[in-house]
């Protein structure tokens, strides 16, 4: 087993699952580089935040969203490894090889080392760079792990999910402090530990140096585990899945409160830019909800790809307290944050700088983006202006899933929808501005728009790289490494 250290487990409150990106307007009026806090919630549904659904108990997130800018048309990828690829590189995933599903434990898949990451670029601008939480961009070789990809410290886990209390995935332990195994003999809830560690970073940080704190929380991903006091906030909900899931959302809200309180106490918030986003739509099959949007996590429908989120800053945003409907994509955070840091990305990336839109409310510079291109499933989707084209199967959860319902009552519909993955889907066209719920397929009524979008999609296909699809490799089994998921086998 690798070198071991023990984690602090004071049980400080909570879960921070946002992505806060704080960038400095170094090139604007000579301002000091801003601190960047990038908070990512895992599997948060569109209808699972208080500004969309008053039944959700998220007072901290509600307040920050109302004081900042709510992002009403901010898109992520349909699954988490693809979204994290875009956050970290500014590329659409079909250009990195991570467009097909996610990196499963034991698969020799990864974000290729030749891609320059956001923390690498920020580090060159003098930022102190830290990640606390979930990585999920590869771990079969040390060179694919966070501290080799631009982060000076890492506290969290490598894979896509694990049990919150015992930190295991498929019988292997997955918890690290930098490259060392982080033992937790108290079996403390993971996101309590994440918040504790984030607070430690904040307390020790020199405020004269710009900070990039990336907080990709485990919450609110399965498994359904949460301290009872959060579940009890929703005691009127009958369905176990939904009740626990909602409790996890409120735990996330408390985590954000504890982190932002610490940032305020440390004097970092006067010059800070914070981003809160989900990594994909909510899994309706696991208690989340995306109403009124169609579909779920793992689909190209709006419910799988339009992310609940906001930006917040005390002084960097000129226009606040409103909902911004400008189109942006997960890849846009890369050039936007580099702009704030006083740097520029490679011109070949897919992301566009959204700072003017976010800070002043002007129109978005983005007119087109690709939801995904996957030549294994032969499915793809693209949006240009108000119109969205989907070809092939949009995924396995293709309906509108109301609440409240007992999970058992949903089973039949969910099982039916899962079978839809294999059916022959004809190309579909939707006007997302007029029909955000995707109820009216316009493909037969607008042949010229169909032809145009199909042509645009083919242009993007020219840059597709083969998707990584390596199967589980027994060489990476934790039994070879003292029961711990450990790099070094690919």
136 is known as an active-site residue = yes
User: Are 109 and 470 within 8 A, CB to CB?
Assistant: yes
Number of Cβ within a 10 Å radius of residue 459 = 10
Separation of CA 399 from chain center: 23
Helix H segments across 205-342?
A: 228-231, 240-265, 302-305, 333-341
Active site residue 490: no
- Give the orientation angle of helix 240-265 with respect to helix 407-419, to 10 degrees: 90
Instruction: Provide the token pair at 319.
Output: 């226009």
Pick the closest to residue 380 from 308, 313, 462 (CA basis).
Answer: 462
What is the gyration radius of the CA atoms in the chain, in angstroms? 21
DSSP tally for the chain: helices H, then strands E? 11, 19
Residues 428 and 441 sit within 8 Å (Cβ to Cβ)? yes
CA–CA gap between residue 248 and residue 275 (Å, rounded):
20
Q: Per the residue annotation, which of 80, 140, 205, 221 is the catalytic one?
A: 80
Using omega within 30 degrees of 0 as the cis cutoff, is the peptide bond preceding 223 cis? yes
Among 35, 52, 100, 136, the one annotated catalytic: 136
Tally of residues, the chain: 490
Closest CA to 487 of 83, 137, 99: 137
Instruction: Just list the catalytic residues.
Output: 80, 136
């Amino acid at each position: 087993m690798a070198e071991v250290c023990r984690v602090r487990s004071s049980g400080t409150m909570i879960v921070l699952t946002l992505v806060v990106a704080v960038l400095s307007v170094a090139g604007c009026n000579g301002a000091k580089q801003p601190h960047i806090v990038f908070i990512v919630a895992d599997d948060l549904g569109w209808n699972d935040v208080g500004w969309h659904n008053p039944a959700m108990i998220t007072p901290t997130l509600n307040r920050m969203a109302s004081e900042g800018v709510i992002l009403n048309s901010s898109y992520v990828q349909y699954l988490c490894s693809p979204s994290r690829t875009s956050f970290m590189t500014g590329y659409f995933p079909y250009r990195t090889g991570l467009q097909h599903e996610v990196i499963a434990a034991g698969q020799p898949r990864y974000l290729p080392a030749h891609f320059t990451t956001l923390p690498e670029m920020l580090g060159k601008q003098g930022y102190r760079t830290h990640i606390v939480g979930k990585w999920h961009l590869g771990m079969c070789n040390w060179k694919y792990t966070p501290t080799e990809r631009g982060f000076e410290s890492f506290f969290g886990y490598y894979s896509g999910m694990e049990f919150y209390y015992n930190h295991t995935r498929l019988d292997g332990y997955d918890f690290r402090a930098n490259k060392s195994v982080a033992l937790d003999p108290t079996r403390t809830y993971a996101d309590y530990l994440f918040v504790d560690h984030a607070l430690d970073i904040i307390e020790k940080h020199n405020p004269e140096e710009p900070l990039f704190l990336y907080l990709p929380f485990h919450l609110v991903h399965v498994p359904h585990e949460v301290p009872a006091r959060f579940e009890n906030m929703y005691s009127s909900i009958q369905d176990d899945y939904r009740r626990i899931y909602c409790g996890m959302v409120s735990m996330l809200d408390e985590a954000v409160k504890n982190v932002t309180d610490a940032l305020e106490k440390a004097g970092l918030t006067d010059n800070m830019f914070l981003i809160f986003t989900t990594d994909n739509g909510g899994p309706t099959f696991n208690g989340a909800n995306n109403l009124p949007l169609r579909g779920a996590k793992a689909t190209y429908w709006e419910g799988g790809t339009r992310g609940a989120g906001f930006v917040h800053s005390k002084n960097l945003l000129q226009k606040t307290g409103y909902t911004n409907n400008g189109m942006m994509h997960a890849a846009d955070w890369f050039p936007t944050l580099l702009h704030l840091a006083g740097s520029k990305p490679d011109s070949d990336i897919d992301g566009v700088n959204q700072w003017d839109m976010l800070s002043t409310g002007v129109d978005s510079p983005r007119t087109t983006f690709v939801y995904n291109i996957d030549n294994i499933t032969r499915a793809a989707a693209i949006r240009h202006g108000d119109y969205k084209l989907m070809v092939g199967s949009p995924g396995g959860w293709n309906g509108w899933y109301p609440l409240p319902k007992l999970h058992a009552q949903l089973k039949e519909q969910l099982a039916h929808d899962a079978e839809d993955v294999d059916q022959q889907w004809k190309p579909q066209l939707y006007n997302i501005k007029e029909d955000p719920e995707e109820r009216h397929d316009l493909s037969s009524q607008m042949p010229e728009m169909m032809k145009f979008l199909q042509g645009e999609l083919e242009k993007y296909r020219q840059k597709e790289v083969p998707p990584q699809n390596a199967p589980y490799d027994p060489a990476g089994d934790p039994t070879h490494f003292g029961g711990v998921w450990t790099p070094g086998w690919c």
